[in-house]
């Protein structure tokens, strides 16, 4: 392996611009985009027949079947009772070909904002074994309608990063091996992906990248796009083809952030602008190993 490749994509419950929900098309598009080591999906549904183009299939399972050479890490944000004894679930999914050392599932803040629609959000944090060592990969999906919820979620992501950096100094306790107290890596190095529902000019875009206190040992997040393509405006990731939902100009709200220690590894960041398999476009990053 000469590069570590990651794709992030809001797959809109596998629904393309043709209105058809097709998990196999999502998997095929990812493979056509790159032979990725990690796939980070937002908006994955289970038992939601009310979502357009779907009969309520278990998309986590269908995607796992299509991507059988990956390990699935699911992150359920919305977990609600459906008819009978079944449940409706909605959230994110991370697929990894790299060994998954440990996983954290963080429910993000959901402060009341009665004036707008809202739902619970979740962040999946997976520690994977990269060729150079442990790497944290976090994928999430921030609030769309509520600015206050979105701001609270950004602050929580910053807190979680600081928490992980503190745990990176945990002392290894060999006598706890094979039990739940076993110390496992939770490294400083991190990749953060999402449909953030903010644009490059938004104050929250800047806030997510604010430096931490001097001497804290916490590397700040940096948007990988200007690292790989300095001086080039972000390619649009939403509203490129779906003009029914997004009638205005297409724009970017899907980013891949990396911690400062990973900046020298950023080789390429690209947006697949050809597919209409979702209302969003897949974003690919390549990191040198």
Quick: pLDDT tens for 160-188: 999 999 999 998 766 778 889 889 999 99
The structure tokens listed for 201 are 């000019």
The DSSP code for 251 is B
SS (H, E, C) 101-125: EEEEEEECCCCCCCCCCCCCCEEEE
Report the phi/psi class of residue 188: left, alpha or beta, with left for phi > 0 and alpha for psi in -120 to 50: alpha
pLDDT at 84: 78
pLDDT bracket for residue 260 (50, 70, 90): very high
Give kind and range of the element (H or E) at residue 47. none
The structure tokens listed for 152 are 């609270």
Q: Is the pLDDT of residue 85 over 80?
A: no
Tell me the CB-side half-sphere exposure of residue 270, using CA atoms within 13 A: 13
pLDDT at 59: 98
Place of tokens 């944090």: 125
pLDDT in tens, 86-103: 899 999 999 999 999 999
Give the C-alpha separation, 93 to 66, whole Å: 13
Mean of the per-residue pLDDT values for the chain?
96
Whether residue 78 contacts residue 93, with contact meaning beta carbons closer than 8 Å, is answered with: no
Residue 175's contacts (CB-CB under 8 Å, 6 or more residues apart) are none
Helix (H, G, I), strand (E, B) or coil at 204: helix
Give the domain extent around 65: 3-288
The DSSP code for 185 is -
* CATH number of the domain that residue 170 is part of: 3.60.10.10
Share of the chain above pLDDT 90, in %: 92
Residue 116's contacts (CB-CB under 8 Å, 6 or more residues apart) are 145, 146
Q: How many beta carbons lie within 10 A of that of residue 63, not counting itself?
A: 24
**pTM of the full predicted structure?**
0.97
Question: What's the structural domain count of the chain?
Answer: 1
Give kind and range of the element (H or E) at residue 234. none
Contacts 24+ apart (CB under 8 A), 202-206: 204/150, 204/151, 204/154, 205/255
Q: Is the pLDDT of residue 239 over 90?
A: yes
pLDDT at 47: 95
Q: How many beta carbons lie within 10 A of that of residue 109, not counting itself?
A: 17
Rg (the chain; Cα; Å): 18
Q: Is the pLDDT of residue 208 over 90?
A: yes
The structure tokens listed for 160 are 């979680």
pLDDT bracket for residue 9 (50, 70, 90): very high
Mean pLDDT over 10-18 rounds to: 98
């Amino acid at each position: 392996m000469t590069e570590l490749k990651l794709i992030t994509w809001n797959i809109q419950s596998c629904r393309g611009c043709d209105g058809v929900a097709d998990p196999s098309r999502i998997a095929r598009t990812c493979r056509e985009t790159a032979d990725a080591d990690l796939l980070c999906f937002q908006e994955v549904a289970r038992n939601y027949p009310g979502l357009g183009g779907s009969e309520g299939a278990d998309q986590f399972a269908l995607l796992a079947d299509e991507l059988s050479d990956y390990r699935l890490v699911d992150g359920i944000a919305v977990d609600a009772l459906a008819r009978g004894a079944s449940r409706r679930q909605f959230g994110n999914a991370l697929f990894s070909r790299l060994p998954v050392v440990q996983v954290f599932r963080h429910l993000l803040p959901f402060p009341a904002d009665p004036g707008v629609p809202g739902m619970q959000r979740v962040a999946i944090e997976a520690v994977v074994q990269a060729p150079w060592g442990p790497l944290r990969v976090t994928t999430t999906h921030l609030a769309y309608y509520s600015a206050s919820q979105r701001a609270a979620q950004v602050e929580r992501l910053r807190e979680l990063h600081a928490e992980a950096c503190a745990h990176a100094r945990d002392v290894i306790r060999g006598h706890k091996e094979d039990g739940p107290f076993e110390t496992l890596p939770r490294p400083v190095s991190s990749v953060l992906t999402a449909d953030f529902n903010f644009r490059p000019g938004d104050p929250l875009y800047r806030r997510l990248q604010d430096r931490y206190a001097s001497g804290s040992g916490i590397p700040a997040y940096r948007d990988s796009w200007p690292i790989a393509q300095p001086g080039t405006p972000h390619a649009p990731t939403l509203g490129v083809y779906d003009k029914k939902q997004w009638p205005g100009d297409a724009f970017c709200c899907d980013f891949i952030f990396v911690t400062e220690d990973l900046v020298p590894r950023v080789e390429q960041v690209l947006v697949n602008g050809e597919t209409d398999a979702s209302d969003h476009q897949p974003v690919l990053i390549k990191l040198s190993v």
